[in-house]
Amino acid sequence: MRAILLSGALATVCSLLGTRIAIGWFARRGFGQPIRQDGPRTHHVKRGTPTMGGLVILLSASAAYLVATIVTGGWPSASAWLLMLLFFGCGVVGFLDDFIKVYTQNNQGLSSRAKMAGQTLVALVFGVLSTQFFADERGVRPASQYISTTHDWGIKLPLIVVLLLIWFLVTATSNGANLTDGADGLLAGATALIFGAYTIVNVWQNNQLCDSARPTVVVSQCYQVRDPLDLAVFAAAIAAACVGFLWWNAKPARIIMGDVGSLAIGGALAGLAIMSRTELLMAVIAGLFVLETMSVLLQMISFKLTKRLTGTGRRIFRIAPIHHHFEHLGWDEVTVVIRFWVVAGIFVATGLGIFYASWLP
């Protein structure tokens, strides 16, 4: 528990101070954000705002986790290193995307194929390492070959199927986080709630770990997870780093997270879900990301289908992702962000309720 508190405190301070330094550093070098031309008109004033602030989140959270773990007498576990692989691997893909946007002053960045190729490589490397290596003394590996909600269930899946599922989770979650990052403070605030929830989930799993000597452990309902406490420390660090970043990212944003932050956050979230055996539960806890992604998919399907049937494409929303739709309806950006934080909080509370209820007799 000391490691969790220390990592959270260190991540908050590092992010708060580091983001302030990054604002000046990126601004002096002209690392300004190009703006989507068909987006809300109120966003056009953000052109030139320093971007790639997600780098501070990556560095602050990782440094805070490492320092807190070592200072409290521990050493990073295999699960933590694998989580860091996803965190930085997806972050590198996002960094390349951001750098191209800044260098060309065009909002396109990496091609969709190149971005997907990078995410696929990171996901598959993580998938192979987490499912085939690093078994602990109980024989438990960081990831399993079962489908999970709060515990593994069903039959053991072939490795190729598991790798496809991991690929889907990593790419879908990282892109979902990326789509959510479209309004000042929206992703940072929602991420703090979601990773805070995973801190609680992993603490509970550590307290009810199978083969634990704790007298309170219920054998029939224990959790077969490799390093839950370490995952909790890392999750707390990411949540806290987002809180520190939010100080500067709240409207009017002094700095923008960029794809380097959003893709990294989504990748880390997928890793937490996979290694805590809560892949399906993640769809509830991170329901805001699902909502944003579904709005884009429905928009595309509606336009293509109606164009094929009638010759004129029709959209469900004025613009997607859905948070931009409400801005087009006249909602102030701050109103959209706060209300979407409320939605994110409802999803988080529901997910935690399901997780806890599954343990009750």
Question: What is the pTM for the complete model shown?
Answer: 0.93
pLDDT band at 329 (very low <50, low <70, confident <90, very high): confident
Mean pLDDT of the chain: 90
User: What DSSP state is assigned to residue 220?
Assistant: G
H/E segment holding residue 264: helix 258-275
H/E segment holding residue 87: helix 78-104
What tokens does 36 get?
A: 């989507």
What tokens does 360 get?
A: 């009750």
pLDDT band at 345 (very low <50, low <70, confident <90, very high): very high
pLDDT digits 0-9 by tens, 108-140: 778 889 999 999 999 999 999 999 999 988 889
CB 251 within 8 A of CB 341: no
pLDDT at 245: 96
User: What DSSP state is assigned to residue 37?
Assistant: T
Q: Widest CA span of the chain, in angstroms?
A: 68
CA distances in angstroms from 335 to 340, 341, 347, listed in the order given: 8, 10, 19
pLDDT digits 0-9 by tens, 66-98: 999 999 999 999 999 999 999 999 999 999 998
pLDDT digits 0-9 by tens, 222-237: 899 999 999 999 999 9
What is the rounded distance in angstroms from the CA atom of residue 344 to the CA atom of residue 361?
28
What is the rounded distance in angstroms from the CA atom of residue 54 to the CA atom of residue 170?
18
pLDDT at 41: 53
pLDDT digits 0-9 by tens, 241-260: 999 999 999 988 889 998 99
> Rounded to the nearest 5°, which phi and psi values hold at 164?
-65, -40
What is the rounded distance in angstroms from the CA atom of residue 53 to the CA atom of residue 181?
12
Is residue 165 over pLDDT 50?
Answer: yes
3-state secondary structure of 223: strand
What is the rounded distance in angstroms from the CA atom of residue 234 to the CA atom of residue 3?
10
Q: How many CB atoms lie within 10 A of CB 314?
A: 11
